[in-house]
Amino acid sequence: MTTPVICFRPATEADVDRDGHRFEWLKPDGWRKGYRALVLEIEDPSTRRPLVIGVGRIGPNTVHPTRDLVEIEIDPQHRRRGFGTAFIRELGRYSSNPLSTKAMPGSERDLFVRSLGATTYLPVPMLRIDVAAERTGRWCSAVRAAGEGDAVSVHRWSELPREQLVDALTDRYLWQHASWSPTSSREVIRPEVGEAFFEETVREHSVAVLRSGRITALAELYDEPIGPHREGSFEAVDAAALHARNDVALSLAAMLEELRALGAVTADFDNHPTDPHAAPLLATLDRQEADPVHLVEIPNGLTAALRELE
Buried b (16+ CB within 10 A) or exposed e, 233-251: bbbbbbbebebbbbbbbbb
68-75: Cβ within 8 A, 24+ apart: 68/95, 68/97, 68/98, 68/99, 68/100, 68/300, 69/99, 69/100, 69/101, 70/99, 70/100, 70/101, 70/298, 71/25, 71/101, 72/25, 73/23, 73/24, 73/25, 73/26, 74/40, 75/22, 75/23
Q: How far apart are CA 251 and CA 310, in angstroms?
A: 53
Same domain, 30 and 89: yes
Within 10 angstroms of residue 76's Cβ, the number of other Cβ atoms is 10
CA distance 50 to 40: 10
What is the arithmetic mean of pLDDT over 248-261?
Answer: 96
The pLDDT of residue 125: 86
- pLDDT for the residue 5: 84
User: Residue 11: what pLDDT?
Assistant: 97
Mean pLDDT across the stretch 244-260? 96
To the nearest whole number, what is the mean pLDDT of the chain?
A: 94
Q: What percent of the chain is predicted at pLDDT more than 70? A: 98
Domain CATH code at residue 242: 3.40.630.30
* pLDDT tens-digit map of 27-36: 999 999 999 9
Same domain, 132 and 268: yes
19, 147: one domain: no
The verdict on residue 147 lying in a domain is: yes
pLDDT, one tens digit per residue, over 118-176 is 999 999 988 999 999 999 999 999 999 987 776 899 999 999 999 999 999 999 999 99
- The C-alpha angle with vertex 49 and arms to 47 and 53, in degrees rounded to 5, equals 105
pLDDT over 70 at 1, yes or no: no
Question: Do 252 and 136 belong to one domain?
Answer: yes
Q: Is residue 14 located within the same domain as residue 132?
A: no
Q: Which residue has the higher pLDDT, 148 or 51?
A: 51
pLDDT at position 44? 83
Q: What is the pLDDT of residue 127?
A: 92
- Output the pLDDT for position 2: 65
Q: What is the pLDDT of residues 187-201, one digit of tens each?
A: 999 999 999 999 999
* Count of the separate structural domains present in the chain: 2
Looking at the fold, whether 149 and 28 belong to one and the same domain comes out as: no
* Residues 183, 174 contacting (CB under 8 angstroms): yes
Which of 194-198, 262-266, 301-305 has the weakest average pLDDT?
301-305
Residue 54 sits in the same domain as residue 120: yes
| Confidence at residue 129, expressed as pLDDT on a 0 to 100 scale | 96
Q: Is the pTM of this model over 0.85?
A: yes
Distance between first and last Cα of the chain: 30
pLDDT tens-place string over residues 205-236: 999 999 989 999 999 999 999 999 999 999 99
Domain range for 91: 7-124+295-307
**Could you tell me the pLDDT band of residue 270, with boundaries at 50, 70 and 90?**
confident
Q: How far apart are CA 299 and CA 306, in angstroms?
A: 9
| 166 lies in some domain | yes
In a domain, 2, yes or no: no
Q: Are 216 and 165 in contact (CB under 8 A)?
A: no
Residues 47, 172, single domain; the answer is no
